[in-house]
Structures are given as C-alpha cells and as structure tokens.
Amino acid sequence: MEAFTVRRIIENDLDDFRKLRLEALRLHPEAFGASYGECSQKPLQFFAEQLRTSHVFGGFDVHNTLQGMIGVNRSSLPKLSHVANIWGMYVRAEKRGSGL
C-alpha cells in the first residue's frame, strides 16, 4: 500500500487543484454537476474562491503530487449545522484502490 498524506488544499496548491478538478470534469462528466466546458473557462480566482469557501482536502503522494480530492460544505443554517455536503470527490485512475 502506498503512503499518502491527506491535508487541506491551500492556495499554494491552487494550480494543482485546478488541474485535478478539470481532469475530473473532463474524464468523468457524468459524475459531476459542473461541466469541463464551463469550469475550464473560469479564471484561477474562481478556484481560489472554492478553496476559501469550502473545506477541500487532497491526497498527496510521497512526491507531494496531488492524486485525489474531496470538498465538504457545512450548512450555515442553525437547524442544519450538523449537515455537510460532499462535492468534487475524485481520485486519479492510477491511484484508485491504493488506499487513498
């Protein structure tokens, strides 16, 4: 089993986050609400805003390469503060089944 580090994706990871997100949308359009066509036209600031407004975690290999991601949003409504939504879950094909 490979070793991975799971941590929050930060602004220093922005380029890698954008690339991985677009890869996911391009290769598996049926799995996501967003489309590659619309997101590939968005400026880098759009992806930076996703990192600021959501909890986005990444799985990094021993070379610190981003291999997978998942986004989590928690409801801001008081009665739903215990509810979270998962979005954008994706792991590169070659890393699936590796324990990430």
- Condensed to tens digits (0 to 9), the pLDDT of residues 51-92 reads 999 999 999 999 999 999 999 999 889 999 899 999 999 999
Residue 73 lies in a domain: yes
pLDDT in tens, 10-48: 999 999 999 999 999 999 999 999 999 999 999 999 999
**Distance separating alpha carbons of residues 66 and 68, to the nearest angstrom:** 6
The domain that holds 10 is classified in CATH as 3.40.630.30
Residue 44 token pair = 């880098």
Q: What's the structural domain count of the chain?
A: 1
Q: Which residues of 24-45 are buried (b: 16+ CB within 10 A; e: fewer)?
A: bbeeeeeebeeebeebeeeeee
Asked if residue 100 is part of any domain, the answer here is: no
| pLDDT at residue number 38 | 97
- For β-strands 66-74 and 84-91, DSSP reports them as antiparallel
Whether 39 is covered by a domain: the verdict is yes
Asked if the model's pLDDT at residue 1 lies above 80, the reply is: no
pLDDT at residue number 80? 92
Look up the domain containing 70 and give its range.
5-95
Tokens of 12: 């220093």
Helix axes 44-53, 14-27, angle to 10 degrees: 100
Q: Is residue 69 part of a domain?
A: yes
